Amino acid sequence: MKTQIDIVTGFLGSGKTTFINELLESYRLSKGRIVILQCETGEIEIDNQIIEGKNVYLKSVVKNSSFDSNYISEVIKKHLPQRIIIEHNGMEKLEDLLNILNERSIRKNCVIGTIVHMIDAATFDVFMNNMGSILIEQISNSDTIILNNSEGYSKTQLTNVERTLKAINKTAEIVRNSSLEHKEHKLIKQRKPSDILFAVFFFLVVGYFTHTVLMTLDFKLAAIDLSRFQVINTVFLSILIQAFPFILFGVIISSIIQVFVSNERIVKFFPKKNGIGFIVAIFAGFLFPVCDCAIVPIAARLVKKGVPLPTALTFMLAAPIVNPLVIASTFYAFPGQPSIVFFRLFLGIFIALAVGMTFLFFSEEKSVTLNSLDSIMCRCGYCGDSTVTNGFTGKVDAIFRHAGAEFFEVGRFLIIGAFLSGMVQTLLPKDILSNIGGGNIVSLIIMMLSAFLLSVCSTSDAFIARTFVNQFPMGAVMGFMIVGPMLDVKNLLMLLGNFKKQFVINLVFVIFVLALIVLSFFLLISVLFYGG
């Protein structure tokens, strides 16, 4: 039987020791022999009364510099514990501890059980703003996050905290205001093997098996059954094949900027005066070719660093459209029709400016940003990752790693989009679509909504938009290409993570209404250029 090692992390005063005390008090946990390794001592100490008479050994390693794998091995040899609970020092990286535990000598005898992160709701925001990177590192490695001291907080405040936590660590369980029973249950619970992976393998194996059997046993039947699906598949893959190079190019450029250009330099770039600010905001996108999903945290940071809100918004909305990569991919998706590229740019900038102006006149008095961290909300990649970038090789390394991470983040949305598009292409009777469409406002709204839902990265959405040309008027397809980069599902999630809810609602409303007005006007005119 391997020794199970549980880790309790969290900043000083977050309630780690109290939590361990509670655990020790519980009956079930204390059946076996337990060793507690304290790397930190705060105001509260492990209660001797609880330990007494039980098989619990307390070791303080606060000032012990030789806390390494040998030390743990010796502890195990000496006490033969069933369980080790490590109270981790909240000021240190959890990864260092995990690296120790991952050494071969430890792995032989031990298994890491649960990592619990304790958070004091009262101090979370303060800590997050000042010591974000350490906190993020610990949270992202945790299995369970316990939100202490949450009684005095309103629901929305707590939801905000939880949203931040979810953004950092999607898989962790967040326990709020829980009873001891509940907490204990979390820690005692045996970890299950990953069943998702198993499901994937199962699916692949079964799928491949069925496919092979069908193909050999009754080729004709299988061919008929699969033909429709094959068409979807071909369309789907063909969208992927042509979009992947662009996505990869995009993530590499974005990574280079991430690694070589500091946020501070970007912030300095924006003049504080409105007039010039708007102009800079529009053209800044040329210089920072980031995708629409990387732009939200940057815009939020701009606002926090004192760039006026209207300017930052204009930048946020225009950048994904004036992005050189987006221009290039639009040009390739609509070969020989540079007018489409021009209109996309012109209308995009126009709407971005209009939204910015609207917020200039109806300026928000209060601060609109959430007081939480911003960089990690970007789902594009590891923007908040504290990658040590030393020297040129280190930077090249960082670029490709970042690009890889970003590719997997962005690619997901592209794949979903391409698949839906393939389905629409193949299965949806085209006369229905063209009946709905037919040059009116409804087709424009449908296109705007599908842009919102498909959430395709702006660097490749032109290819998807291209596929709608047969069914929808050009003006409506333009709506797809303009609204998509400004607003979509993944963008909205990030907006909510960075800005206050009321502001996001206002913003979405303003973007949608302005885009609808401008684009319907364009729709009427575009019939002249592109026909019905």
Partner 1 sequence: MLISRSNRVNLDAVLKIFILLGFALFFFIIIHTGKIQLYVNPRIVPYVKFCIVVMVIISLFLCRDIFKPRRKVSLTPYLFFLLPLFMAFSLPAKSMNSTSMAFGDVTLTNTDNSQSSSTTDFVQTVPDTTDSALKLQDDTIFVRDNNFVQWIEEIYTNMSKYEGKKIEIIGFVFKDKELRENEFVPARLMMACCTADLQPMGLLCQYVKASELKKDSWIKVTGTIKAIDYKGQKTPAIKADKVENTIKPENEYVYPY
Which residues, numbered 240-259, are part of the site for partner 1 (CB under 8 A)?
A: 240-242, 244-246, 248-249, 252
CA distance 210 to 221: 13
Distances, alpha carbon 518 to alpha carbons 199, 354, 469, 492, in Å: 47, 10, 20, 22
Nearer to partner 1, 111 or 524 (CB): 111
Mask 365-384, x = binds partner 1 (CB under 8 A)?
--------------------
Smallest gap from residue 239 Cβ to partner 1 (A): 5
Nearer to partner 1, 96 or 264 (CB): 96
In the three-class reduction of DSSP (H, G, I as helix; E, B as strand; rest coil), residue 45 is classed as: coil
Nearer to partner 1, 194 or 216 (CB): 194
Query: Among 55, 60, 157, 337, which residue sits at the site for partner 1 (rule: CB under 8 A)?
Result: 337
User: Which runs of consecutive H residues, i.e. helices, occur in 377-460?
Assistant: 391-427, 430-436, 441-454
**Any contact of residue 326 with partner 1 (CB under 8 A)?**
no
CA distance 130 to 369: 17
Query: Among 286, 342, 346, 408, which residue sits at the site for partner 1 (rule: CB under 8 A)?
Result: 408
Give 444's contacts (C-beta < 8 A, 6+ positions apart). 475, 476, 479, 516, 519, 520, 523
Nearer to partner 1, 228 or 272 (CB): 228
Which residues from 182-221 bind partner 1, rule CB under 8 A? 191, 193-194, 196-198, 200, 204, 207-208, 211
CA distance 175 to 118: 10
Smallest gap from residue 506 Cβ to partner 1 (A): 32
**Any contact of residue 528 with partner 1 (CB under 8 A)?**
no
Q: With contact defined as beta carbons under 8 Å apart, do 20 and 100 qualify?
A: no
Q: With contact defined as beta carbons under 8 Å apart, do 169 and 145 qualify?
A: yes
CA atoms 399, 320, 449, 428: torsion sign? negative
Query: Among 82, 133, 434, 506, which residue sits at the site for partner 1 (rule: CB under 8 A)?
Result: 434
Nearer to partner 1, 2 or 268 (CB): 2
**Any contact of residue 237 with partner 1 (CB under 8 A)?**
yes
Q: Name the amino acid, one letter, at 343.
A: F
Which residues from 131-150 bind partner 1, rule CB under 8 A? 140-143
Q: Name the amino acid, one letter, at 439.
A: G
Which residues from 85-124 bind partner 1, rule CB under 8 A? 98, 102, 107, 111-112, 115
Give 150's contacts (C-beta < 8 A, 6+ positions apart). 121, 158, 176, 177
Given its phi and psi angles, is residue 529 left (phi above 0), alpha (psi -120 to 50 degrees) or beta? alpha
Query: Among 58, 100, 158, 226, which residue sits at the site for partner 1 (rule: CB under 8 A)?
Result: 226
User: Which runs of consecutive H residues, i.e. helices, occur in 263-389?
Assistant: 263-269, 274-287, 292-304, 309-322, 324-333, 338-361
Size of residue set near partner 1 by CB under 8 A: 86
Which residues from 163-182 bind partner 1, rule CB under 8 A? 169-172
**Any contact of residue 336 with partner 1 (CB under 8 A)?**
yes
**Any contact of residue 509 with partner 1 (CB under 8 A)?**
no
Closest to 288 measured CA to CA, from 258, 244, 330: 258
Smallest gap from residue 376 Cβ to partner 1 (A): 14
Mask 464-503, x = binds partner 1 (CB under 8 A)?
x-xx-xxx--------------------------------
Mask 43-62, x = binds partner 1 (CB under 8 A)?
--------------------
Give 223's contacts (C-beta < 8 A, 6+ positions apart). none
In the three-class reduction of DSSP (H, G, I as helix; E, B as strand; rest coil), residue 341 is classed as: helix
Where does this chain touch partner 1 (CB under 8 A) — which range of 55-63, 350-358, 423-431, 509-517?
423-431
CA distance 22 to 31: 15
Nearer to partner 1, 278 or 413 (CB): 413
**Any contact of residue 428 with partner 1 (CB under 8 A)?**
yes
Q: What does the DSSP 8-state code read for residue 30?
A: G
**Any contact of residue 429 with partner 1 (CB under 8 A)?**
yes
Where does this chain touch partner 1 (CB under 8 A) — which range of 149-157, 266-274, 430-438, 491-499?
430-438
Smallest gap from residue 411 Cβ to partner 1 (A): 7
Distance spanning both ends of the chain, measured CA to CA: 74
CA distance 470 to 69: 65
